[in-house]
Chains A and B, each alone.
Chain A
Amino acid sequence: MNPLINETGAEILKAIRAPEFLLPTLLMPCAFYSLFGVVLSTGNTDATYLLATYGVFAVIGPSIFGFGVGVANERDKGWLQLKQAVPAPAYSYVVAKIITTLLFACLALMPIYLIAGFFGGVELQRQIWFSLFGIHLISAIPFVLIGLSLGLSLNSGAAVAISNIVFLSLSVLGGLWFPVYAFPAIMQTIAKFTPSYHLAELALAVVGAGGEHASLFNLLSILIMSLALLGLAISAWIRQR
């Protein structure tokens, strides 16, 4: 049997057997969106705007925690060391975690999409829904890399705390909870240096809520940040050995 399939199966089993970690990351974005995007909404512009940003929020949770906390935990317990000693293909551990992360990202997105469509009055063309879904999944890339760097550098206790701080601060600063234009000027400037801000801008452009910048600029920013984060993750990998 293929190691990657088995590895992915094992990752999924581990995740669903720890509902105390899984459920908050899956349900919190949906609950927040229902509250701010639908219940407290003043019209369907809010619902559409926040669908774009809470979708990013829903994906970066599993990305940063799955890797940050998951990897730190398994490294602490010596599991990662055993993996490196046995003939498990080097890619299978990371790729299996990425597949699992994307799967749970989808599970976190679906209820938000359903609530937006049925209760939030959000109406988008079918290809817009799919483009939005694509942008939301891409959000995993920089945050998986952040999580991996944290997981390879910190012990499991510190990883939980730091992952939470990074997750919440990048969510708020990137304008995923409240629009960036509502921020004071200094925070608006800081926001432009977060990957979450550029991902939200891309998602907003897709739903026609108009980003502040051209999408190409956002894409380029995400690409540069992701490459820098990849460098960070690789150096963390080399240092932990």
Chain B
Amino acid sequence: MNTALKTTQLSVRFGNKVALNSIDLSIASSGVTALLGANGAGKTTLINCALGLCKPSSGTVRLFSKTPGKIEAKRLIGVMLQDSALPDLLSAREHIQLFSSYYPNPLSLKQLSQRCGLESFVDKRYKTLSGGQKRRIQFALAIIGQPKIVFLDEPTTGLDIDARNLVWNTINELRHTGTAVLLTTHYLEEADSLADHTIVMNNGEIIANDSTDNIRAAASGAVIQCESTLELNIIAALEDVRSVKMRGRKIEISSRNATTSLAELLALDPKLSNLTVSKSSLEDAFKQITDNSKIAGDSA
């Protein structure tokens, strides 16, 4: 496997706060990798280290064996930063012209317009565009240099469905051209439909690093809430029940399979009341994965 990005014992501290804690990671030079995590989990810091915008406190980062921040490394990457607005008073055409002067083999305005759907607003000033249109220009600038790896920091946050689908399609195209993509997202759904590989971060650490299929399996299932006189340890012993706890007067059950768990619960307690069933949220998935990693850590 060729490696696009490799970190070894990478740590970043801001004062007393540990943003990244001894991260060992390698990202393949093809395919889409999703970096999932809540705000403050360390996703953006990790990306900034790979871009050379943030210096490691200890450990190393290499991009195709090059040091991030050096011009040889910068020529191999494409970037779309989360809070990076482009100058308001320039048009897409002008932004593209400026960026194409940075790269040895830039894509042409025509190629970019087609791939990113810029045709209808290429001469309008950036300030006057919608959120989705702005994101498309940022995306065009990320791929203009025909990069080997593209970093997308929350590429679809705040986009409407059409704009989001367009970004998703373009990311899929990148996969087919053999470009590695590393994207950060809050949305499990986004990782689900795009990524071959998913990394979950929490508190500056990697708590899961696996194929998206395996991560999805770990996070799937449902959360059942109800009022019942059943003992918690009896519920916990049921098949497909991951965990049980009291939340106020209600019992909260995390289940791998809502249908079987519900059937068993109702068989045991026909008077069960105030029942709600909801899909596991990303937060539940994180909790699930964190708990699993703790158990793995304890037993190791």
Contacts and interface: CB of A to CB of B under 8 A. Distances in A.
Q: Do A and B come from one complex?
A: yes
Interface of A: 1-3, 5-7, 9-10, 13-14, 17-18, 74, 77-79, 81-82, 84-89, 241
B104 to A, nearest CB: 9
A82 B87 contact: no
A215 to B, nearest CB: 41
Interface string B106-149: 00000000000000000001000000000000000100010000
A10 B102 contact: no
A89 B71 CA distance: 8
A6 B101 contact: yes
B145 to A, nearest CB: 7
Contacts of A82: 79, 81, 84, 86
Interface of B: 51-53, 71, 74-75, 77, 79, 81, 83-87, 89-90, 94, 97-103, 125, 141, 145
19 contacts: A3-B98, A10-B87, A13-B94, A14-B87, A17-B125, A18-B89, A74-B87, A77-B83, A77-B85, A79-B84, A84-B53, A85-B51, A85-B81, A86-B102, A86-B141, A86-B145, A87-B74, A87-B75, A88-B102
A10 B87 CA distance: 9
Contacts of A6: 97-98, 101
Given A85-B74, A86-B74, A87-B103, A77 B89 contact: no
Contact of B85 (A14, A79, A84): A79
Contacts of B79: 82, 85-86
B79 to A, nearest CB: 5
Contacts of B85: 77-79
Contacts of A89: 71
A117 to B, nearest CB: 35
A230 B83 CA distance: 29
A87 B102 contact: yes
Contacts of B102: 3, 86-88
B81 A81 contact: yes
A13 B90 contact: yes
Given A85-B74, A87-B102, 8 more contacts: A6-B101, A9-B98, A77-B85, A78-B83, A81-B53, A82-B79, A84-B53, A85-B77
Contacts of A9: 98
B142 to A, nearest CB: 9
Given A79-B84, A81-B53, A10 B103 contact: no
